Amino acid sequence: MMNRLHTQPTLQEDILSAPTHSVAAAVCTQRGDAFPHALFAPLHYERNYAYPLLVWLHAPGADERQLRRVMPQLSMRNYVAVAPRGTHVLDDDADCGGTGFAWAQHQDHIFLAERRVFDCVDVACRKFHVKRERVFLAGAGCGGTMALRLALANPGAFAGALSIGGELPRGLAPLAKINEARSLPLLLMAGLESGRYPQPRVNDDLRLLHSAGFAVTLRLYPFGDEIAPVMLGDVDRWLMQQICPDASGAS
């Protein structure tokens, strides 16, 4: 797929500081199960329609409640969404976001993240009418890296994967299933001024994926590591292109 440079102006307000009142009723945080997670019900939910499912892996320093910040800017109607909590507990001295949770790229954490993701898919499918062939993995920062890793390791389980400011995973053979994974649509998004995912690393990841035969879309933005509304609008459009190539993705 063609790469393109997104040239819209930098947005001053990070989506993480956006108001939540409009989505509070649609997002329910579940803590009574084996692990905390959040579920999102689309507005005007139709029981007879099989919705695409978006599994969101939050940014470092956040938790599953980031879903209520993300969905109003992504789409309030197009998807059922679910978000597990990260596997790694951060403290005040952590380099990747202070207090909160993150997704560590160690074997035991990868195994636990995979289990949480598939448990979340099962929970969402029990509570809502979800189309199993339209499950997408998405994340920000280390959540984006984990989303790519799990999708590449389980290409038959997902319809696509995207990362906002999270690099391609390294170590522990992320491309072990390259033959099956080549057909998996991938979206990489990064800020040109990002300190977490600098441009040389973006270029390296793009070259690697292209040389491996992946269909990857790269979108670059003129700001740093924030999750901006313009990014989430582009995520919605990309997802709708995978679901229905002629759809505009309007929310």
pLDDT confidence of residue 32: 57
pLDDT confidence of residue 28: 72
Q: What is the pTM of this model?
A: 0.87
pLDDT confidence of residue 109: 97
User: What is the H or E stretch that residue 102 is in?
Assistant: strand 100-102
DSSP string, 115-145: HHHHHHHHHHHHHS-EEEEEEEEEEETHHHH
Residue 26, pLDDT > 80, answer no
Contact 183, 214 (CB under 8 A): no
Region 132-156: mean pLDDT is 98
Q: What is the pLDDT of residues 147-203, one digit of tens each?
A: 999 999 999 999 999 999 999 999 999 999 999 999 999 999 999 999 999 999 999
Residue 94, pLDDT > 60, answer no
pLDDT confidence of residue 195: 94
pLDDT confidence of residue 31: 62
Region 17-40: mean pLDDT is 64
Domains of the chain, CATH where assigned: 4-243 (3.40.50.1820)
Identify which of 105, 107, 108 has the alpha carbon closest to the alpha carbon of residue 139. Answer: 105
Residue 121, pLDDT > 50, answer yes
Residue 9, pLDDT > 90, answer no
Measured CA to CA, the distance from residue 240 to residue 225 in angstroms comes to 24
pLDDT confidence of residue 29: 72
Type of residue numbered 205: D
Residue 107, pLDDT > 90, answer yes
Residue 55, pLDDT > 80, answer yes
